[in-house]
Structure 1
Amino acid sequence: MNLPVPVITIGLLIASNLFMTVAWYGHLKFKTAPIVAVILISWGIAFFEYLMQVPANRIGYGHFSAAQLKTIQEVISLSVFALFSWLYLGEKLGWQHAVGFSLICLGAWFVFHDWS
């Protein structure tokens, strides 16, 4: 079965962002853990992020421009982070987060809109 390039690219970027969010922010619940251990564990988790992120960009480039790939990655990253901070860290998301995210999505629309 051949999946369309956007499906593969976006799927890999979602998976990579799940790993990266855990690598960057998962340790915040473990404040007593030694910083060296946290860094090494985070590097180990980030390795898996790169295993998905690099192929996502390789596969997606050509179908998407580099700016579009980066925009997709940022929107996914913020979406994953918002869910992670709410579900894992127990942080509340307020109206200001919704407004800010909406403005970022508006920016993404501008990147993907064909202005020619």
Structure 2
Amino acid sequence: CFQCASTCHFFQYWMSFGYSDENYYEDSDAHHTLMFTGISLVTCVCIVLFMYTPDFKDVDWVAREALLELERREKLGLPLVDPNLIDPSRIVLPPEEELEDFEVIL
């Protein structure tokens, strides 16, 4: 079917991709080139850009800072988590009468 475009049955019912209405090969080549570029190359470039962007949510920084704080507390002999992180005088607890119906799990 690669002889003359006017006599071939295939080319009589050919529907263009929209790049060329007169030449099947030009239309097909343009379509396949743009699809390859649009899907393959753009996807790869987006993946590479995503992988090499800086840590904008500071996830790595938080983990590093936590490890440094744990090491500092171990060297000073302090507990890893301070039991008085919040001042106990600022905590308001309900009276015992209100808690009688609830099971308190410590």
Shared fold (TM-score, shorter chain, > 0.5): no
Question: TM-score, with normalisation over the residues of structure 1?
Answer: 0.23
Asked which structure has the greater CA Rg, the reply is 2
Larger RCO, structure (CA 8 Å, separation 6 or more): 1
Question: TM-score, with normalisation over the residues of structure 2?
Answer: 0.24
Structure with more of its chain in helix, by fraction: 1
